[in-house]
Structure 1
Amino acid sequence: MSNCGQPSAYPPLIPSASASSSTARGSLRKTQSFNKIDEGYSGEEVQTPGFGNDPQSGTRDRMSDIKIPSWMTSMDPGMRLEFAYKLIRTLPTSHISSLVDRLEPILHLDFIQILPSELSLQILSYLPPKSLLDASLTSRTWRKFALEPRIWKDLYKGQGWAADDEEIQKFELEMQARAEKDMRQQVESKRKAEENREEERKAKEARTMSFATPMDTSQDGDTYVIDQVGLETPYQYGGQMNMDRRASAAVPTMLSDDEEMYPTPKQRPSTMSQSFVDAPLPIEPTLTTPGYGSPRLNWAFLFKNRKRLEDNWANNKCVPFQIPHPHYPHEAHTECIYAIQYSAKWLCSGSRDKTVRIWNIKTRRARGEPLQGHTGSVLCLQFDESPEEDVIISGSSDSCVIVWRFSTGEKLQVLQAAHGNSVLNLRFNKKWLVTCSKDHTIKVWNRRPLHTDSPDYPWDSKLVFGPNGAPTSHPDHPLYQPSWTIQDPALSSGLGLLNPFSQGPKQVTPKTIPAYTAITNFEGHAAAVNAVQMHGNEIASASGDRTIKLWNMKTGKCEKTFIGHQKGIACVQFDGKTIVSGSSDQTIRIFDRHTQAETTTLRGHTALVRTIQATQNRIVSGSYDETVRVWLRNPDTRIWQCNAVLRQSRIGTHPPPDPNQSHLSSQMQHTTLGQVQMHPVHQVGGTGFAGAVAASQLLPQAQQIQAHHQAQVQAQQAQLQQFAQMQQNQHPAVQQQAAGALTAATATTATGGNYRVFKLQFDARWIICCTQDTKIVGWDYAADDEGIIEASRFFLADP
């Protein structure tokens, strides 16, 4: 018996050519057996894998058992590489190509498909944004991993950008609730569809029964019926099969329930199976991305639009706007505005007209009637529209502080004579209210009733308990030490215990302190305290005495004093680490909280820096020079630079022309006259002007500022007179408008302009400020970009 099909016990390292040729000839003879007559018997033997006559499979299986000699593995890797190269060069080109095909899976491994998802995401998380976007173009699988929201969330946070976590959580809960609602609707729709199919099936059976005719009984006992097409169909009593055949014969063209509702299996909806199929990712990222059961917030979308928004800040690309909307000028304040604050939906403003107004940010219209209660100018305010707080607190030149309910405008409480002079600024959190005044003092008020067992109870308060504070004999006092006197048993039977509360002079008994009670009074400044800022238990105050002081609310003591400004300080910002201040010396100075060192001085304003807000990489300041300046810090050099100068005078504040007006009147509205025809500034005098000149001691150079503005106004007057002379013989309305503009310009010279900036605020998208004008102005850095506008609801200003 031939053993040519059996492998040798010791196969050679490389098969010989003769063996290969003999194998090929045997294979050829096998292929020529197709002419053999089939006699009902096959002599073909079953081939064992690896030992058949197939030259490729047999050779490959034999070669897989070959062991590399130890002398070869002991060679240097470089020598092995050269040996393998020369060995491969001895092979035919077709074998080399086959070898390359076998090596390709080893050289090109897709770790995204091989590794667990967690490890793949961890690897991709080390890539920068541009590399991630390039990786997303590789394949659908890579795109799914490269655009994973968790990766882009880390990249977003890594840029130092802040996000509104509360708004994000609210949005995701809304998406989850919407997905659950959609699922319930699908289940309900499916249930109704099944009920409809059941009703249709029953109706169809009823219609089928109506086709039946009188039965004819044959000799063999079977019953036959004559159907509508003349066919005889056997019917067995109690036979379901015959009933079905009968129904199908009666209505031959009628489909089954499933076939009628779903003509083909591919068209049958399957909500359960479809819910687990990943939806394809869109080319452009959207606000949401598919998630597990409900859509998720797409952080790649947020990253993209936040980057575009930051580019708009860097390039000063913004769109100006004003409040109220130009179509509703009657809703504006009647006098200049001293204080503003805004949130995502609302803006509150306080004016010299003694009112507080609430505005809708989206519509730029007033909400309801103005809040009236102050008898002087509203110089400061703060609000919190959350349901837990629902409060507005305002301070006025009438020395009073009023607490309002935000949702209704109801007056909740009035702190009469909160200070001995005008209340210049206030700040509050959930526990405390801090106010500062022109009377050189700072006061701290509790916003909630304080019980003796509260950790915030002011045991050392001199305002509540006198110069010595609360008695330590109270059981809730932190220094309370119980002491009992034991009498001599010989003097009386038993032990006589004496209560220390029943002996000694009568003291003030600590009790619950009602809300909005003055707890602490800080004294130390030598001039008006123009601004305060809270952070934790510390208060930073800025005064006209050229100093900034840091106070501890618990101890009531001044911890540090910062000196550096050459003139009075009008505004201050404090975040726990850094203090930023603006002064009448026309500078902005940055101090380190711990070392008290002045780290940076920013120069550029030409008058008092009245208001300021700062973050880690951005500062926005407003001045009496009628400008708002945006300062950006270079991330590489860490140097601050003025990036933009914004002016209210360059904002078109007039509504679109009325089509019913004449052509001359419309032309007049778009000339230089439109920039100076503003509401006149009221003359100095009375207590109402206290907010505007609260830092009057900060302005020794007022004459220079006035001269500067007078020169500007005189130039405007010359232009107006020239324009009026050209138009005086053409239309009477032009003469009246020109005269009004000249009157307004003359009034402007008394105080030096209409656009002194009193207060500003900014966030990731907007800068909004108030000036001596009766309108609030702002700049929107979304620049009408729909993607930025959609994503900006989740953005916060950098910390």
Structure 2
Amino acid sequence: MCQVRAELDRRWCASDGADGTPAWEPKAKRLSGHLDSVYCLEFDSRRIITGSRDRTIKVWSLKTGRCLDEWEDEDVWKHGFMVSGSSDCSVCVWDLCARIPVAGEDCEIRAEVVAVLRGHNGGVLDLRIDSRWIVSCSKDALIRVWDRRTLQLHCTFRGHEGPVNAVGLQGNRVASASGDGKMMLWDIISGERLRTFEGHDRGLACIEFKDDYIISGSNDCKIKVWQASTGACLRTLAGHDLLVRALSFDPRSGRLVSASYDKTVKVWDWRTGKMLRQFRNCHNSHIFDVKFDFCRIVSTSHDQKIIVLDFSDGLDVSMFV
């Protein structure tokens, strides 16, 4: 296990060492099936879920790349929970049913809308959920917090002067990022705004909120690392040439992955601000979302493609799943 983990870490690095030997290139898999821009994604060790401007949500097998069909037999299945937001101003709550797969087969998926949450007057731009809350933000400059158990509106945060493009959720705190160039931290229980963060030169497009850290990406092409409890900007990462559209980071490994309208995916050490490596030829248009785990990066784009960069090719990583 230690040897596999060490080899994975080596493959993420820019080169093998001081001798400047070429970086290990991850195996790329391209998934096609959407008919328009793919705006967002989530994934785990078995499947990828993507949302597109073609008004569909698709579930893909991470192993085979196949788009999973609906399954008709109801004898062997388990339930899941999903929330989606749309430019039609609504938030849909879905009951997912997954067939328990036989060895060597893909899991089959079907989905049913069980509730529609209405309250926004503009397109829903981002969502976050945990075991207690559903948080949505919108072009209407509002952040709405819904009780996950009852699906009732709990509170609404007002304060931004432009569309709220992204939100982050940690416990009872919400971070919001807006086209007005500001980021705000809110308390769900009290309903109060705790702090306003200012430092970007243009509007914010994305944020990630984990532990006591918030990372923001902006139309000023910069990435900033903030401490939530103090409001301090710890460092600024520069390297993208156009708007930074998506971020994903792991506080423990120190790894940060960013995606931009400049068509690149970059890997950083967010604790030092050093860029570790970049991928320029994954997409041929604006990249809209990116996520990663210990062995792969998944990204989506205006080019209608989902790209999986797999650093674990040839390694047995089943022990980590």
Q: Which whole-Å CA distance do the structure 2 matches of 1:786 and 1:764 have between them?
A: 12
Normalization by structure 2: what TM-score? Answer: 0.87
Partner of residue 275, structure 2: 642
Q: Do structure 1's residue 405 and structure 2's residue 106 form an aligned pair?
A: no
Q: Once the 2 structures are TM-superposed, how far is the Cα of residue 786 of structure 1 from its aligned partner?
A: 2.8
- 1:207-222 to 2 correspondences below 5 Å: none
Residue 609 of structure 1: which of 220, 223, 244 is its match? 244
Between the aligned partners of 1:416 and 1:516, the Cα distance in structure 2 is: 7
1:311 aligns with 2:10: yes
For residues 4-33 of structure 1, give each alpha carbon's deviation from its aligned partner in whole angstroms, at most 9, with x where no partner exists. Answer: xxxxxxxxxxxxxxxxxxxxxxxxxxxxxx
Which has the greater radius of gyration? 1
Check 1:420–1:517 CA distance in 2 against 1; reply closer, same or farther (3 A cut): same
Aligned partners of 2:94 and 2:280: how far apart in 1?
33
Q: How does 1:77-88 map to 2 (within 5 A)?
A: none
State the shift of 1:369 in Å: 5.3
- 3-state SS of the aligned residue for 2:7? helix
How big is the shift at 1:643? 1.4
* 1:519 paired residue number: 154
Map Cα deviations across residues 663-698 of structure 1 (whole Å, 9 max, x no partner).
Answer: xxxxxxxxxxxxxxxxxxxxxxxxxxxxxxxxxxxx
Contact 2:82 2:96 in 1 (8 A): yes
Q: Give me the identity figure in percent.
A: 35
Structure 2 counterpart of 1:569, from 195, 204, 222: 204
Residues 1:765 and 1:649: Cα distance change in structure 2 (over 3 Å): closer
Q: Which has the higher strand share?
A: 2
Contact kept? 2:4, 2:315, Cα under 8 Å: no
Contact 1:440 1:523 in 2 (8 A): yes
Deviations 1:393-440 (A, max 9, x none): 111001111122222533233425331010000011121111000100
2:289 is aligned with 1:769: no
Could you tell me which residue of structure 2 aligns to residue 632 of structure 1? 269
Deviations 1:506-533 (A, max 9, x none): xxxxxxxxx2111101111111010111
5 Å matches for 1:357-372? Answer: 357-368=58-69
Aligned positions of 1:446-465 closer than 5 A? 446-448=147-149
Correspondence 1:322 to 2:29: yes
What is aligned with 1:335?
36
In the superposition, the TM-score normalised over structure 1's length comes to 0.36
| Matches for 1:389-788 after TM superposition, within 5 Å | 390-407=80-97, 409-415=110-116, 417-448=118-149, 515-616=150-251, 617-632=254-269, 639-649=272-282, 754-782=284-312, 784-787=313-316
Counterpart Cα distance in 2 of 1:312 and 1:425:
32
Q: Kindly provide the amino acid, as one letter, of the partner of residue 532 in structure 1.
A: V
* Maintained 8 Å contact 1:320/1:777: no
Report the equivalent of 2:74: none
Distance 1:399 1:575 in 2: 27
Count of aligned pairs between the two proteins: 295
CA deviation after TM superposition for structure 1 residue 447, in Å: 1.5
> Does the aligned pair in 1 maintain the 2:264–2:282 contact within 8 Å?
no
Tell me, what secondary structure is at the counterpart of 2:161?
Answer: coil
Post-superposition Cα deviations, 1:104-146, rounded to whole Å, max 9, x if no partner, equal xxxxxxxxxxxxxxxxxxxxxxxxxxxxxxxxxxxxxxxxxxx
Q: Distance in 1 between matches of 2:113 and 2:278?
A: 41
Cα distance in 2 between the residues matched to 1:569 and 1:590: 13
CA distance in 2, matches of 1:347, 1:770: 11
Q: Residues 542, 781 of structure 1: CA spacing in aligned structure 2 closer, same or farther, 3 A cutoff?
A: same
Unaligned runs of 5+ residues in structure 2 are: 16-22, 72-76, 98-108
2 CA distance for matches of 1:597 and 1:631?
20
Cα distance in 1, alignment partners of residues 195 and 82 from structure 2: 31
Q: Offset of 1:612 from its aligned partner?
A: 0.5
Distance across 2 between alignment mates of 1:786 and 1:366: 25
Letter in 1 for 2:269: L
Structure 2 Cα separation of the partners of residues 395 and 427 of structure 1 = 10
Following the alignment from structure 1 to structure 2, what is the Cα–Cα distance between the partners of residues 369 and 333? 17
Alignment-mate amino acid for residue 89 of structure 2: S
- Cα offset for 1:755? 1.8
C-alpha offsets along residues 221-258 of structure 1, whole Å, 9 cap, x if unaligned? xxxxxxxxxxxxxxxxxxxxxxxxxxxxxxxxxxxxxx
Secondary structure of 2:63's aligned partner: coil
Q: Report the AA paired with residue 405 of structure 1.
A: D
What is the correspondence of 1:63-102 to structure 2 with a 5 Å cutoff?
none
With CA pairs under 8 Å and 6+ residues apart, which has the higher RCO, 1 or 2?
2
Describe how 1:166-177 pairs up with structure 2 within 5 A. Answer: none
CA distance in 2, matches of 1:445, 1:555: 15
For 2:43 and 2:117, the matched residues in 1 are separated by 26
- Aligned-residue offset at 1:365: 0.3
Cα RMSD of the aligned pairs, angstroms, is 1.9
